[in-house]
Amino acid sequence: MEVFKSITFVLLLALLSACSGTQKIKSGEEAYQYLQYQTAIQLLSEEYERSTIPPEKAHKAYLIAKSFAANDDLNLALQWFRTAYDLDYGEQALFDYAVIMKRLERYDSAMKIFEALSKSAEFQIMARQEMQACKTALVWKTNKVAYTVEPVSFNSAGSEYSPILYLDDQIAFVSDRPQSTGDYTFNWTGRKFSDIFLAPAHRTGEEPHLFNDIVNSDANEGPLAFSKDYQTIFFTRCSAPEEERDYCKIYFSRKGPYVWSDPVELSFVQPGFNYRHPTVDASDSIMIFSSDMPNGQGGFDLYYTRLSGTKWSDPVNLGPRVNSQGNESFPWLYLDTLYFASDRVGGMGGLDIYQTYVMD
């Protein structure tokens, strides 16, 4: 397999990813464990108010903060991490408080906390890395790059992410806007389940429409890739409402004379793990994706698989030169360059865009 060169940090990215269904939940902590963050916030807040035991209140405050952070509600996350720390939750709450400050670009304030934590045995290494990241971010903010980032006209009040060109004149992207298929509410966000949409790439004023009702379903359809001839789509599907436990899987569908084929799960997918965010190279023979399979470098790692005939090989981890102790996701291959998102220590905050190079 290709050897990956050194990684270059590029830009800041905020996005949504993961899976969570609609299980019946009995407590705020259970909702949190199932990634149902909207439900977790509601239940944990009620439990927090009822509790009279300081350690219990501190734990619930910490989970409330983590839930707000997962939904990118950073100001409320900041408040609750501070509450948890004031209730003696410990240095973890203080570290997370500083991380949120960094995500809010309050780098000077974050650096002061990281400096204090750099004397902690548990957080010494990470705190020093985060201090350096804050210093670097302040330098980057004063040296603007020659790019202007502007929103596209078809954005909604929901989430839009993972755009990719389709047939050269359209953009396929993922959204949880009200037009998405089905009537279920995704308990991570409190909005609808996501679907794949199409919008004109070079025209404005036209409303996006659903890709089709074969690929899209009541589940969450997510980040996708097309074959070179656009006759095959690879996409993420997770969080079917009727499933007892939710996992993301990669499916493919082929375009027929009249309709797309029923989606089929890729052969290497194993139960009990998440497989998501596929991208394929120009030859359609190598796929890179994100997974939380065991024995990786961190939470979600990037893996590759090769197509031999009609079968994909067993996935191989891209290793520590690409993967970190954090989460790597949303890969995209373009020629000899692999772009991906990571929340690794040392970034500007949250998920950032990185690049690495593929060599024969």
What's the confidence (pLDDT) of residue 186?
A: 84
What's the confidence (pLDDT) of residue 88?
A: 97
> Per-residue pLDDT for 174 more than 70?
yes
Q: Which domain holds residue 245?
A: 159-359
Q: For 255-306, what is each residue's pLDDT tens digit?
A: 999 999 999 999 999 999 999 999 999 999 999 999 999 999 989 999 999 9
* Neighbour-count burial for 169-179, b at 16+ CB within 10 Å, e otherwise: ebbbbbbbbee
Considering the domain architecture, whether residues 328 and 190 belong to the same structural domain is answered as yes
> Per-residue pLDDT for 68 more than 50?
yes
Instruction: Find the CATH number of the domain harbouring 199.
Output: 2.120.10.30
How does the average pLDDT of the chain come out, rounded? 90
Structural domain ending residue among the three candidates 117, 142, 167:
142
CA angle 185, 350, 200 (to 5 degrees): 60
Structural domain ending residue among the three candidates 87, 110, 142:
142
Q: How far is C-alpha 294 from the chain's CA centre? A: 18
Q: Is residue 53 part of a domain?
A: yes
Structural domain ending residue among the three candidates 142, 177, 204:
142
State the pTM of this model.
0.84
Look-up of token digits 């404005």: 204
Provide mean pLDDT across the span 92-100: 97
Q: Is residue 17 part of a domain?
A: no
Please report the sign of the dihedral spanned by the C-alpha atoms of residue 349, residue 250, residue 209, residue 257: positive
- The tally of domains found in the chain comes to 2
Q: For 306-342, what is each residue's pLDDT tens digit?
A: 999 999 999 999 999 999 999 999 999 999 999 999 9
> Per-residue pLDDT for 205 more than 90?
no
Q: Which residues contact 256 (CB under 8 A, 6 or more apart)?
A: none
Local confidence band at 347 (pLDDT 50, 70, 90 cut-offs): confident
Please report the sign of the dihedral spanned by the C-alpha atoms of residue 330, residue 231, residue 210, residue 312: negative
Local confidence band at 100 (pLDDT 50, 70, 90 cut-offs): very high
Q: For 125-171, what is each residue's pLDDT tens digit?
A: 999 999 999 999 999 888 877 788 889 999 999 999 999 999 989 99
Q: For 1-60, what is each residue's pLDDT tens digit?
A: 443 443 333 333 333 344 444 457 889 999 999 888 999 999 999 999 999 999 999 999
> Per-residue pLDDT for 360 more than 80?
no
What's the confidence (pLDDT) of residue 12?
A: 31
Considering the domain architecture, whether residues 229 and 339 belong to the same structural domain is answered as yes
What six digits make up the tokens of 108? Answer: 């000077």
Instruction: Find the CATH number of the domain harbouring 112.
Output: 1.25.40.10
